[in-house]
Amino acid sequence: MDEEAATLEGQFSEFSRFLDNKRNGTTITLWRSDYWMRQAKVLEDRKLTMTETGLAWFKNSKTELTFDEWHEYLTDLCITKGFDQEAIETILTNCGLPGVTPVIVPQYRDFFDTFKPRSKMMF
């Protein structure tokens, strides 16, 4: 049996249901969208940050977006950041199913766990 070729819309549906099989796959949350972009290595804190994805997301004033709304969000993000949208879509389409690749979502509190005041630093 041949595998079905991945599509952007198919990936949208898979990632929109990630960790919650009760979801029907028609809308995606910001967290799941960011997770998808992290897995695809589009969102990696040097070229694109979670703050930037959040600002672009909330222009829609919704907590969940349909595929068409999400695609407009992606277009807006690509224009704002100067990304090649076709290349980004290809990367998002071919990054594998959710959870296939380990994704590390940075926890900013980790920074504070290792923080040392300047007076205790040795130079």
Containing 36, the helix (H) or strand (E) segment is helix 30-39
Note the pLDDT of residue 101: 81
pLDDT (mean) for 70-82? 95
Is 60 inside any structural domain? yes
Is 2 inside any structural domain? no
> How do residues 21-32 score in pLDDT, each as one tens digit?
889 999 999 999
pLDDT (mean) for 94-116? 72
Is 88 inside any structural domain? yes
Is 96 inside any structural domain? yes
Total domain count, the chain: 1
Output the CA torsion sign for 80, 6, 15, 111. negative
Q: With contact defined as beta carbons under 8 Å apart, do 67 and 50 qualify?
A: no
Output the domain CATH number for residue 54: 1.10.238.10
Range of the domain at 115: 8-120
pTM (global) more than 0.75: yes
Is 1 inside any structural domain? no
